[in-house]
Amino acid sequence: MTTALDTRSAPDRDRIISVMRVHTHYRTLAFAWPLGILAVIVAVTWAVLSLAPDGSTEIKTGGSLFVFFFGLVLFAQMVTQAFPFVLGLGVTRREFFRATVCVAAAHALVFGVGMFVLSVVETATDGFGVGMQMFALATPLAGNAVTELLLLVALFAMCNLIGMLAGAVYLRWGVTGIWTTVLVESVVVGAVIFVVTWQGWWGPVTEAVADAPRLLTTVLLPLLVASAAGLGTRIILQRTSA
């Protein structure tokens, strides 16, 4: 990185913007690579389906879902690589956190809107003319266009902030911290599944989710997870040295 930061006398807002500019170092990785890989996946899927007789097949593929996980890895990398660099230039931990959250939100908005547009085009063209279902997987779950758009943005935001949290954990505790986190999460999820199955609560839980407002289950819950990940990231970074 060759970005220079004048952090001595700049106001907080200007320093946050300066850190956001540091993150633009990852613009090729953030946009060119995932879009290129996605284009290849779409092209290969379309080519295969185009060989099938008309109306003979309809495939639902989760090939586009890799973009969400790409965001997770991207923001983990942003934290692990940029945090020590900007801290050495006098940027505070709070300013770094705020700047990275702003970049994560902008990234989520751009990719969420992009995925929504592709979903609309896919539906309008009957799966790009070959019955492909790759981008409209969330359409039945959302129920309407507005909720689908908000859902996609919320999911990207959740993945990005989880990536930030993973990066902060790695900075603070290294690989041991990452695997310990995975182990704890596995134990907690397994315990919840065991208790729900043991008590026979799957029916009531399913009914409660089905009866809840779509915005609550598809938008607010991912945003709550994103907020929790953001809070965890901030707490860990405050206790992490460069």
Q: Residue 225 domain-assigned?
A: yes
Long-range Cβ contacts of 33-39 (<8 Å, 24+ apart): 33/70, 34/66, 34/67, 34/70, 34/71, 34/111, 37/66, 37/70, 38/63, 38/64, 38/66, 38/67
Average pLDDT over residues 196-222: 87
Question: Is residue 1 a part of any domain in this protein?
Answer: no
Alpha carbon dihedral 112, 26, 41, 217, in 10-degree steps, equals: -30
The total domain count for the chain is: 1
Give the whole-angstrom CA distance, residue 173 versus residue 57: 49
The answer to the question of residue 32 being in a domain is: yes
pTM metric for this prediction = 0.88
Alpha-helical segments (H) within 125-240? 139-142, 145-199, 202-211, 214-215, 221-238
DSSP bridge partners of 59? 132
- pLDDT score at 87: 87
The verdict on residue 4 lying in a domain is no
Determine which helix (DSSP H) or strand (DSSP E) holds 240, and give its type and residue range: none
What sign does the CA torsion over 212, 182, 33, 100 have? positive
Domain of residue 23: give its range.
12-238
In a domain, 181, yes or no: yes
Q: What is the pLDDT of residues 42-69, one digit of tens each?
A: 999 888 888 876 655 666 777 788 899 9
3-state secondary structure of 138: coil
Where do we find the tokens 């300066």? 18
Distance of CA 145 to the CA centre of its chain: 20
Q: What is the pLDDT of residues 149-192, one digit of tens each?
A: 999 999 999 999 999 999 999 999 999 999 999 999 999 999 99
At 11 the pLDDT is: 57
Asked if residue 36 belongs to a domain, the reply is yes
* 6 is a domain residue: no
- The secondary structure element, H or E, covering residue 219 is none
Is the pLDDT at 2 greater than 50, yes or no? Answer: no
As a whole number of angstroms, the distance between CA 146 and CA 229 comes to 25
What does the mean pLDDT of the chain come to?
87
Q: Does 215 have pLDDT greater than 60?
A: yes
Question: What is the identity of the amino acid at 12?
Answer: D
* Distant-in-sequence, close-in-space partners of 62: CB < 8 Å, separation ≥ 6: 134, 137
Query: Among 13-17, 146-150, 233-237, whose mean pLDDT is lowest?
Result: 13-17
Q: What percent of the chain has pLDDT over 70?
A: 92
CA distance 141 to 147: 9
Say if 76 falls within a structural domain.
yes
In angstroms, rounded to a whole number, what is the distance separating the alpha carbons of residues 196 and 192?
6
